[in-house]
Amino acid sequence: MSSSRRYFSVNACVLALNTLTVAGTTSAQPAAQLRIGSVVPRNSVYHQELMKLGEAWRAAQGGNARFAAFTDGSQGGEAEMVRRMRIGQLQGALMSVVGLREIEPTISALQNLPLLFRSWEEIDYVRERLRPSIERRFSERGFVVLGWGDAGWIRFFSRERAVHPDDFKRMRFFAWGSEPEQQSIMKSLGYTPVPLETGDALAAIQTGMISVVPSTPYFALAAQIFSAASHMLEINWAPMVGALVVTQKAWDSMSEAARESLRTAGESAGIAMRTRARAEVDEAVEAMKKRGLTVNQPEDLQRKAWEDLAQGLYPRLRGTLVPADAFDEVFLHLKAYRSTRGG
C-alpha cells in the first residue's frame, strides 16, 4: 500500500472514531430536569400553579425535559430543601420565609414582624420596594427568584380557648426547627416552643405534644390542623410570605427560551397564588366553622395586649431574627405608604 493510501486510511479511521465518540456523547447526555420541592398540600392552588409552570417550562426547553413537583414536605422541611438544592438533588423550591431566610436573611423582614402590616396593600407596597435588593442578594448566593406568593394571615389555632397573650403561656407552641432565634425569644417571654417540621404539626397537635399551631386558615383547613386545634384567635399576627426559587446552576443549564418561559410563568404563578390564597382565607374559615371550629374574637383590652407585645418585640427582633438594615427599610417604606394615605 502506498504512503498516501495508508495516510487516507488512518485519517478515515480517526474521523470515524471521532464521529462515533461525538454521537455517543450526545446520546448519553441526560435530559434537562426541573425538580421543585415544597411543603404545600397536593392539589392545592400552589401545587396547581407549579404544574402549570412546569408544563410551560417543558414545552420551551424541549428535548424530553422532565419536570416534577414534590408536595406535602416529601423532600423534608424547608431548611432541608435548601440543603437539597445546594447539593443538586432539587433544582428549585416554593418556600415561605422560614426556608428562604436560610438563603438570604433579609427576606425575614416581610414575615417576622408581628402585627406590623395592616393590609395586603401595605405588604404589596413594601415587598415591591424591597424586591430588587432581595432578588439581587439571592442571585449573589446562587439562586434565582422567579415569583412571589403568600398564603394568608398567620393566626393561632389552639386546642382550647385563648384570647390574651398570657393565655398561651400555659400551652406548648409549634415552632419551626430552623429558627432557634425565635425559640429563644419565645422562651424569654414565658412561652414554650417545641421545634418541629411543618409536616409534623398535625400528628403533634393530635397527640397533645403541642397545643398551638401558628397557621394560615387555608393551610389549617388543607392539613386538617383545625380538627385537633378547634379554636382560632381572630388576629392577623403576620403574613405568610413565600417565593419560588431555582438554583443558578439549573438556570444556567436551561435554554434561553426555557429561561424566558420560566420567568414569565413564575411571575404569573406568584400573582395567581397571592390572588387566590387571599380570596380563600374567609372561605377556609367558614368551611372550618361548619366543621366545629370556634373563632375567638379578642376584646379591645386583649387586642391592646397583643399590640403591646408586638411593640416590645420589635427592638429584640431587629438584628436577630430580622437584619437591622432590612428592619429599618421596612419601617421607612411603611411610613411613606401611610403618610400618603392618611394612615
> Of 26-40, 138-152, 248-262, 277-291, which range is least confident?
26-40
Q: Say what the pLDDT of residue 21 is.
A: 40
Question: Rounded mean pLDDT of the chain?
Answer: 90
Q: Say what the pLDDT of residue 182 is.
A: 87
- Identify the band that residue 25 occupies on the pLDDT scale cut at 50, 70 and 90: very low
Q: What is the mean pLDDT of residues 94-115?
A: 95
Q: What is the mean pLDDT of residues 176-186?
A: 85
Q: What is the mean pLDDT of residues 29-54?
A: 91
Q: Say what the pLDDT of residue 3 is.
A: 44
Q: Does 4 score more than 60 pLDDT?
A: no
Encode the chain in three state secondary structure: CCHHHHHHHHHHHHHHHHHHHHHHHHHHCCCCEEEEEECCCCCCHHHHHHHHHHHHHHHHHCCCCEEEEECCCCCCCHHHHHHHHHCCCCCEEEEEHHHHCCCCHHHHHHCCCCCCCCCHHHHHHHHHHHHHHHHHHHHHCCEEEEEEEEEEEEEEEECCCCCCHHHHHHCEEEEECCCHHHHHHHHHCCCEEEEECHHHHHHHHHHCCCCEEEECHHHHHHCCHHHCCCEEEEEEEEEEEEEEEEEHHHHHHCCHHHHHHHHHHHHHHHHHHHHHHHHHHHHHHHHHHCCCCEEECCCHHHHHHHHHHHHHHHHHHECCCECHHHHHHHHHHHHHHHHCCCC
> Of 49-63, 215-229, 269-283, which range is least confident?
269-283
What's the predicted TM-score (pTM) here? 0.85
Domain spans in the chain, listed from the N-terminal domain onward: 32-339
Architecture field, domain 32-339: 3-Layer(aba) Sandwich (3.40)
